Amino acid sequence: MIILGKGQLGSAFVQQTSGVYVDLDISDEEAVLAYPWPQGEIVVNAAAYTDVDGSENNRKAAWRVNAAGPKYLITAALRAELTLVHISSDYVFDGTETSYSEQSELCPLGVYGQSKAAGDMAMQGKHYLIRTSWLIGQGHNFVQSILKARDPSVVCLNLGRPTFTDTLVSGIMHLLENNCEYGTYNLTNSGQPISWANFAREIYKAAGREDHVLNSFREKGAPRPRNSILELDKIEKTGFKPEDWKDALAKYLC
């Protein structure tokens, strides 16, 4: 297994599996197509331009990595008969629906979501397109930011479920090891959907600290989907039951 991207998810894959990290700029078409891909290998594309606010002012960078990069990888995958695992986002939706299935129509709001949606549309051949939300792993993330903050003001308008990298890696490995049908799968932790502000309160509670979270009714920066609830029925039917996010949070803070 080849892992692309050294962020929270890429690092989790390297730690939890026998995957090997390859330092490759997926936005460089020549480099992607010239790379000596082993025939029939599994490639996990965890590389992405994830700065949602920065994407608004760095459109070319976001599109190069999130849209053009997957297109180049698919071309390489078709040539070498690779199985591509590509990670997508709840930001490909506008957040106006009650919840989103794998068949929901794409309707991104900002540049980041638009570039991710373009990457989704490039998928073909042997692939797993994994849509996730609110990723939490090692390094800089929402949990760490809240624990370091003093009296944080957190938006209370958005609703969704966090996804811990342990759960995401386990779910993807389940699909691969059980030769599940190729295609699109939603994959987050299970449990009651929650707002960012109430999630912050749960973080303090799980850490045994006093809650000083302030509700914010004003969104800053790029537009974000108000509702990011991804339906989990499809992946659960394959036999994988994502862990409740409260249990995952408790383990993360241990």
State the pLDDT at residue 191.
98
pLDDT at 140 over 90: no
Residue type, 199: F
Question: Which pLDDT value is given to residue 218?
Answer: 74
Structure tokens at 139: 């390094």
pLDDT tens, position by position, 19-68: 999 999 999 999 999 999 999 999 999 999 999 999 999 999 999 999 99
pLDDT at 6 over 90: no
* Tally of CB atoms within 10 A around 101: 14
How confident is the model at residue 114, as a pLDDT?
Answer: 98
Stretch 133-151: mean pLDDT: 92
Neighbour count for residue 15 (Cβ, 10 Å):
13
Q: Which domains does the chain have, with CATH numbers?
A: 2-140+162-189+229-243 (3.40.50.720)
Of 186, 82, 197, 173, the closest CA to residue 131 belongs to 186
List the beta bridge partners of residue 88: 131
**pLDDT, mean over the chain:** 95
pLDDT in tens, 207-219: 999 888 988 877 7
Please pick, among 91, 112, 185, 252, the residue that the annotation labels catalytic: 112
How do residues 154-174 score in pLDDT, each as one tens digit? 999 899 999 999 999 999 999
pTM (predicted TM-score) = 0.95
The rounded distance, in Å, linking the Cα atoms of 29 and 51 is 22
Q: Which of 225, 223, 242 is nearest to 159 (CA)?
A: 225
60 Cβ neighbours under 8 A, 6+ residues apart = none
Burial 162-177, CB ≥16 within 10 A → b, else e: bbbbbbbbbbbbbbbe
Residue 85 in this model has a pLDDT that exceeds 90:
yes
How far is 154 from 217, CA to CA, in rounded Å?
A: 8
Cα 56 to chain centroid distance, Å, stands at 19
Q: List alpha helices for the chain, DSSP H.
A: 8-16, 29-34, 52-55, 59-63, 69-80, 111-121, 142-148, 165-177, 196-206, 233-237, 245-253
Q: Which tokens is 43 given?
A: 């490639």
Range in 36-40, 84-88, 145-149, 210-214 with the lowest mean pLDDT: 210-214
Mean pLDDT over residues 81-98, rounded?
A: 98
User: Would you say residue 111 has pLDDT above 90?
Assistant: yes
Confirm whether 112 is a catalytic residue: yes
Given a cut of 90, whether residue 150 has pLDDT beyond it is no
Residue 194, beta-bridge partner list: 160
pLDDT given at position 38: 96
